[in-house]
Structure 1
Amino acid sequence: MTTDGTSDNRPSKNQRRDAARKKAKQLRVEQQKKDRRNKIFLQGGIGVAALGIVVVVALVIMNSIRPAVPGPANMASDGLLLGEGLTAVTTSALQPDATPVASKPDATGTVANIRVYVDYLCPFCGEFETTNGDQIAQWVESGAATVEIHPIAILTGRSAGSQYSLRAANAAACVANYSPDDFYAFNSALFVDQPEENTVGRSDSDLQDVVKASGVSKSLSEINTCITDETYKSWVIAATDRATNGPIPNSAISAIASTPTVLVDGKQYQGSLKDPKEFAAFVLQSVGESYSTSTSTSTPTPAATTPAG
């Protein structure tokens, strides 16, 4: 007697379990290989990326750190001094790391020595210039005063990354170097439609336009190149550091804490920036005090004599 049926050829439970284990082991091995391969690729990619970052940083550093160059001519004191007729007092360029040579103030006590530290992004500097620029020019033109302007860049970080404060001061230095007698006009022009803080300010091309519009006609090509090359950038940074760290020669203050800082015969003006009469009165008072000091001399006492007998 035979039994009618088919034989069961399906894997047993143990066989299926063994097959699953082998498959799992195979998958683990393949995954480990894949992980090692990805790790190698990842490390290689990170290495390439890191190398790229190093190259970029190196290029930035190389482009930003330039060899120190001499400062602009006619600014050996870190400022440009204008005398009678608004004529610049010429000086040799200040060499890198050299100590500035302070301008000698008028010793007679009859000429007001006005010194102004300005940042071309500073709105208060704009107010002072708008209020007093014309009358200062008249005093200097006539010989009643001298004016020495020190461009500094303490607001470089407030121009949306464009470093306008620094670039404008560099442009002023370019004009001082190549066309010093036009410096006052350019300085005044920078405050017309002055850019506001936290804006990008003027581009280099805009600064070149201001140079031309202010009436500078001498060495325009050299000045334009000086602006785009930022020739005196390192000097502006150094001059700003010197001003903010002090000492400030021929003055009663130790360092420049803000702009504008206005000194008349060494005394700091702290009055209204919008009242030209108040500033004029301060100048008159300062000159009067300087004149009194310069003319006050001790009268010698005659020596006692013994009458002849």
Structure 2
Amino acid sequence: MSYGSAGDGRLSKNERREAAREKAKMLREQQRKKDLRNRVFLFGGLGVVVIAIGVAVTLIIVSAIKPAGPGPMNMASDGVTISKGYVATTSPAQPADADPVVPTPDYSTGVVDIQVYVDYLCPFCGQFESTNSEQIGQWIDSGAATLTTHPLAILDRGSLGTKYSTRSANAAACVANYSPDSFYAFSALLFKNQPAENTEGLDNTALKGYVGDAKADNVSQIEKCIDDTEFKDWVSASTARALKGPLPNTEVEKVEGTPTVLVNGQQYSGSLTDADAFSAFVLQVASEAYSTATPAPTPEPTVAQ
């Protein structure tokens, strides 16, 4: 039997022990570096998550405090007023959530002030419109009356998810904003072609078609406004104002249903399908305003004989 020496390629016991120590040290160093890298990745990942959460929270807060979009021009009173010659009264745009600017009417002029709060999906509004639109149009054309239309969105639930009440009220606001003198004709077309409740209502293509039929100006801008529902914030806010009340220049507290029809501030509660009944109410209110505004003649003094 022979034994090798230190120089024949074999390690001594001490050398093997030292090599094992070095290898263990190297493994520990590798593990330490690996743990350090993992901690860096972990904290880096947490940092990304924290940043993402922070961005999300910021967006939520910003969205919550974002002001409502703009309201339409020519509807500062939450409605558009049509006067003699079917000309709209102009007014600057208000923020959607701003209180309406409503002038105090002067009933002594003899011009009857008619206010209607409508939802373009409301069948009763359609009945009132088809019954009375001709005579109201004659009163407007002659200068005997003004008509202020307030488009509301109460019946969105009745259009199978398409929110037709909001879309049609927005479309009316778009016309009022970009071509106000076409509002009367456009509003009439919406009622003439009124869809039934519990249907999808008219699509945007149809709404845009009636813009052309109403001979509106700025058609491309109105069409974009309809597609973008540019005034949906205003529709929501003005509807909430009408439902909460009070209604300006009247003792009627709020809109409790559509149509709500006011003549010189007095609410009409008669038949929606009897033009004579509404005409009689208008004449009665107008005569009351005239008699109140016109002082009784002073009797001539009697001279004793």
- Alignment TM class, shorter chain as reference: 0.7 to 0.9
CA contact (8 A) 1:109 1:292 kept: no
The offset of 1:138, in angstroms, is: 0.9
Q: Among the aligned pairs, what percent are the same residue?
A: 54
Unaligned runs of 5+ in 1: 1-58, 303-309
The offset of 1:215, in angstroms, is: 2.5
TM-score (norm 1): 0.74
Deviations 1:83-130 (CA, angstroms, capped at 9, x unpaired): 111111100111243211113323325111100000000001001111
CA contact (8 A) 2:107 2:113 kept: no
Provide the residue aligned with 1:294 in structure 2: 293
Code of the aligned partner of 2:289: S
CA contact (8 A) 2:124 2:258 kept: yes
Deviations 1:49-97 (CA, angstroms, capped at 9, x unpaired): xxxxxxxxxx9xx999975222000000000011111111100111243
* SS of aligned partner of 1:190: helix
Deviations 1:22-41 (CA, angstroms, capped at 9, x unpaired): xxxxxxxxxxxxxxxxxxxx
Provide the residue aligned with 1:147 in structure 2: 147
Whole-angstrom distance in 2 between the partners of 1:266 and 1:247: 12
Higher alpha-carbon deviation: 175-184 or 202-211: 202-211
Provide the residue aligned with 1:108 in structure 2: 108
CA contact (8 A) 1:118 1:152 kept: yes
TM-score (norm 2): 0.75
Alignment of structure 1 residues 1-309 onto 2, 5 Å: 67-216=67-216, 218-296=217-295
Paired residues in the alignment total: 243
* SS of aligned partner of 1:171: helix
Deviations 1:187-245 (CA, angstroms, capped at 9, x unpaired): 000011311111110111111012112322x0000000000000000000000000000
Whole-angstrom distance in 1 between the partners of 2:205 and 2:80: 24
Structure 1 vs Structure 2 CA RMSD: 2.5
Whole-angstrom distance in 2 between the partners of 1:213 and 1:189: 8
Whole-angstrom distance in 1 between the partners of 2:233 and 2:64: 10
CA contact (8 A) 1:109 1:288 kept: no
Whole-angstrom distance in 1 between the partners of 2:171 and 2:225: 7
The offset of 1:298, in angstroms, is: 11
Q: Structure 1 pair 73/100, CA: closer, same or farther in 2 (3 Å)?
A: same
Whole-angstrom distance in 1 between the partners of 2:66 and 2:117: 26
Unaligned runs of 5+ in 2: 1-58
* SS of aligned partner of 1:94: coil
* SS of aligned partner of 2:256: coil
Higher alpha-carbon deviation: 230-239 or 201-210: 201-210
CA contact (8 A) 1:121 1:195 kept: yes
